[in-house]
A and B are shown apart, each in its own frame.
Chain A
Amino acid sequence: MLNKIKNLKSTTKVDFATYFGVIVAFIVITILMNQGMLKRAHVGMLVPICSYITMAVALNLVVGISGELSLGHAGFMSIGAFTGVIAAMSLTSAIPSEPIRLAVAMVVAAVCSGAAGAVIGIPVLRLRGDYLAIVTLAFGEIIKELMNCLIVGHDSEGLHIIFNYNGSKSVEDLHMLTDGAVIVKGAQGTVNVDTISTFAAGFVLVMVTLVIVLNLVRSRSGRAILACRDNRIAAESVGINVTSYKMMAFVTSAALAGAAGALYGLNFSSMQATKFDFNQSILVLVFVVLGGLGNIWGSIIAATVLYILPEALREVADLRMLVYAIVLIVVMLATNSPAVKNVLSKILPKRRKEMD
């Protein structure tokens, strides 16, 4: 058995360690939760953390593995959150079981976001570098404004949707029957949502995401995606259709972001479209970059730590975002500047010797 593990490729070992770490973390937290050892505030953070981990891993697929900078991934999270909430709310009577309804909602969200990813990917992936980045940013902002105009309700006749683009419409214009309930109320966002997201569901989503992303990367398609990133022209020269593999990564990532959005949206009784703005995209990008480009377990750790950090800094309330900013700058300088690295390398070996 031990020999078998030794003979595995180093990448396979890292993958197994990643799965193992996530499972152990889930078990430990579940035990702590059942023992009542976690504060309410901490329990409330579990589902968002799962959804940010999924977002970070999904974005890493685009930025780290496919090598295209996306500054609009919150848009896909937004599409997922709204479609997921709408799906879950309108299926309340059709699917009584909450876990199944949540699963269905996440699948619907993933399909819708994936489709949006495909539509957006066609123009976006024709561009390169910073131009691609700015267009993803543009799409993120467009999605935010479009979602802000949505008014949706559900009654026994089905879904009622209006698109309030000039601010003149209101809930009354839905013309719902008396048994109807409003789900999305324009700029106020989702209202009276049944919060069916659970930590267990979040754990399952993270595991599914890991299986999809890790297995994809270690397969033929993943090699093609990496090849397109490393050297586009060489990849074409060996018969790889670069656009379709960039597209594969982009759409997969969008779909996963959508599922993460559904988990997130169904965790809060109300949520506004403006939540998923440029800063949200950047927040997730920071997780990816600090966790290491292409490094999946790095994304998981970074998402967790950086989500908890501002909450942990609540004691210094006003200063916390300032501290966060400074931590961000210092970490970037420490990991990327040759001068700072030199200084660190002079200190670190000494420390290791002391430990010996």
Chain B
Amino acid sequence: MEFLSYLISGISLGSVYAIIALGYTMVYGIAKMLNFAHGDVIMVGGYISFCAMSYLDLPWPIAVLLAMLVCTVLGVVIEGLAYKPLRQATSLAVLITAIGVSYFLQNAALLIFGATPKVYTPIISGTLKLFGGQLSISYVSLVTIAACIVIMIALTLFTDKTKMGKAMRACSEDKGAAQLMGINVNGTISLTFAIGSALAAVAGVLLCSSYPTLMNTTGSMPGIKAFTAAVFGGIGSIPGAFLGGILLGIIESLAKAYISTQLANSIVFGVLIVILLVRPAGLLGKYVPEKV
């Protein structure tokens, strides 16, 4: 019973990672860049929803929508100002710029909201008791898992069935060819950032609901771990990000419970290393050898 509850909290945490990882993986797939600022967009999403609920007394669905809207705009603005001019630059230059953006968001949040952590009110409170109270699952966990599944299905449908989704896949395969076929590559990339950032806002709300301390660095570690999850599952692959996120969450939760709290992250990263050694392109990624 104890195991089951750790497992469920792992899946719930993994769902948050998966939602963040989906954003990471889409952006990586299309822009071939490690967007280190993605984790900080989560933090922004957390703050926006916090302000909406605590200061403006808005109901949580509106707060979530507001956070998504602000993050979407933020994502598109970041992409346009910082990343678009560097489309032809080396990936390292883009990486450093992304780190600059990450520092900027963190320190801007520090200036606006101060260094004291905010206590976040979960969007839903209460727990579901099963087996005569032996197993209790918080509603937040259930909502998180459900949200993750819905998002995953919606994204898969979007990229497979819609015209814009197809354009997105075309751009991630070959930008030049996509452009020649009349696809608006810049627009598609902006759209990807918009979707990724909206997902980050959702992740921010869910993350803060499960772990209710909100500060300016809240997003960085989950961001890094979600990126790990994306790599774990095979970066660029949507089911891979989902699978990687969930697995990562479960491993982390079980490692914390049964092995060592101190070394939980080490165990997560250790598993990542082993997976990459066995499958160099991640669980569901495709390995493309260099053409000679």
**What residues make up the interface of A, taking CB atoms closer than 8 Å to B?**
63, 69, 123, 126-128, 130-131, 133-135, 137-139, 141-142, 145-146, 148-149, 164-167, 232-233, 278, 282, 285-286, 289-290, 293, 318-319, 321-322, 324-326, 328-329, 332-333, 335-340
Given A332-B97, A332-B100; 15 other pairs, CB 8 A cutoff = A69-B92, A127-B276, A130-B34, A131-B231, A165-B263, A166-B260, A278-B224, A286-B96, A289-B96, A318-B111, A325-B101, A325-B104, A325-B107, A329-B97, A336-B86
CB of A332 within 8 A of CB of B88, answer: no
B71 shortest CB reach to chain A, Å? 19
Task: Say whether, besides A123-B277, A141-B265, A285-B96, A332 and B86 are in contact (CB < 8 Å).
Answer: yes
CB of A142 within 8 A of CB of B86, answer: no
- Alpha-carbon distance A333/B34, docked complex (angstroms): 17
CB of A325 within 8 A of CB of B100, answer: yes
Indicate with 1 or 0, residue by residue over B77-102, a CB within 8 angstroms of chain A CB atoms.
Answer: 00000100110111111011101110
B273 shortest CB reach to chain A, Å? 6
Residues in B whose Cβ lies below 8 Å from that of A145: 262-263, 265-266
Q: Is the interface of B mostly helix, strand, loop or mixed?
A: helix
Interface residues on B, range: 35 or more
CB of A138 within 8 A of CB of B88, answer: no
Task: Say whether, besides A130-B235, A139-B269, A333-B86, A167 and B262 are in contact (CB < 8 Å).
Answer: yes
Q: Which 3 A-B residue pairs are closest in the complex by CB-CB distance?
A: A138-B269, A337-B85, A328-B100
Interface flag for B49 (CB, 8 Å): no
What are 8 residue pairs bridging A and B, where the CB atoms are less than 8 Å apart in the complex? A130-B231, A130-B235, A134-B227, A145-B263, A167-B260, A293-B92, A332-B86, A333-B86
Interface flag for B122 (CB, 8 Å): no
Contact of A328 among B99, B272, B277, B280 (CB under 8 A): B99
Q: In chain A, what residue has the closest Cβ to B261?
A: A167
A280 shortest CB reach to chain B, Å? 13
The count of A-to-B residue pairs whose CB atoms sit within 8 angstroms is: 133
- Alpha-carbon distance A340/B265, docked complex (angstroms): 41
- Alpha-carbon distance A148/B290, docked complex (angstroms): 41
Residues in B whose Cβ lies below 8 Å from that of A340: 85
Residues in B whose Cβ lies below 8 Å from that of A139: 269, 273
CB of B261 within 8 A of CB of A126, answer: no
Residues in A whose Cβ lies below 8 Å from that of B270: 138, 142
Q: Is the interface of A mostly helix, strand, loop or mixed?
A: helix
- Alpha-carbon distance A232/B281, docked complex (angstroms): 19
- Alpha-carbon distance A131/B34, docked complex (angstroms): 11
Residues in A whose Cβ lies below 8 Å from that of B276: 127, 131, 134-135
- Alpha-carbon distance A127/B287, docked complex (angstroms): 11
B221 shortest CB reach to chain A, Å? 9
Indicate with 1 or 0, residue by residue over B258-292, a CB within 8 angstroms of chain A CB atoms.
Answer: 00111101100110110011001110000000101
- Alpha-carbon distance A148/B171, docked complex (angstroms): 44
Interface flag for B139 (CB, 8 Å): no
Task: Say whether, besides A127-B280, A149-B262, A333-B86, A321 and B103 are in contact (CB < 8 Å).
Answer: yes
B106 shortest CB reach to chain A, Å? 8
- Alpha-carbon distance A164/B28, docked complex (angstroms): 38
- Alpha-carbon distance A340/B220, docked complex (angstroms): 30
- Alpha-carbon distance A289/B104, docked complex (angstroms): 18
B110 shortest CB reach to chain A, Å? 8
Task: Say whether, besides A131-B280, A138-B228, A165 and B260 are in contact (CB < 8 Å).
Answer: yes
Residues in A whose Cβ lies below 8 Å from that of B89: 336-337
A59 shortest CB reach to chain B, Å? 12
Interface flag for B108 (CB, 8 Å): yes
Residues in B whose Cβ lies below 8 Å from that of A134: 227-228, 231, 272, 276
Residues in B whose Cβ lies below 8 Å from that of A325: 100-101, 103-104, 107
| Best-buried of A127, A324, A333 by chain B (most CB within 10 Å) | A333
B266 shortest CB reach to chain A, Å? 4
Contact of A329 among B88, B100, B108, B290 (CB under 8 A): B100
Contact of A289 among B93, B108, B110, B273 (CB under 8 A): B93
CB of A324 within 8 A of CB of B103, answer: yes
- Alpha-carbon distance A333/B270, docked complex (angstroms): 36
Residues in A whose Cβ lies below 8 Å from that of B262: 145, 148-149, 164-167
B268 shortest CB reach to chain A, Å? 8
Contact of A123 among B92, B93, B111, B273 (CB under 8 A): B273
- Alpha-carbon distance A135/B34, docked complex (angstroms): 14
CB of B97 within 8 A of CB of A286, answer: no
Residues in A whose Cβ lies below 8 Å from that of B88: 338
- Alpha-carbon distance A329/B94, docked complex (angstroms): 10
Q: In chain B, what residue has the closest Cβ to A237?
A: B292
Indicate with 1 or 0, residue by residue over B213-249, a CB within 8 angstroms of chain A CB atoms.
Answer: 0000000100010011001000100000000000000
CB of A135 within 8 A of CB of B272, answer: yes
Q: In chain B, what residue has the closest Cβ to A327?
A: B100
CB of A137 within 8 A of CB of B99, answer: no
Task: Say whether, besides A325-B104, A329-B100, A137 and B111 are in contact (CB < 8 Å).
Answer: no
Task: Say whether, besides A332-B97, A337-B89, A326 and B263 are in contact (CB < 8 Å).
Answer: no
- Alpha-carbon distance A142/B224, docked complex (angstroms): 13
CB of B290 within 8 A of CB of A328, answer: no
A114 shortest CB reach to chain B, Å? 20
Contact of B97 among A138, A285, A333 (CB under 8 A): A333
- Alpha-carbon distance A333/B28, docked complex (angstroms): 20
CB of A126 within 8 A of CB of B280, answer: yes
B285 shortest CB reach to chain A, Å? 9
B228 shortest CB reach to chain A, Å? 6
CB of B86 within 8 A of CB of A131, answer: no
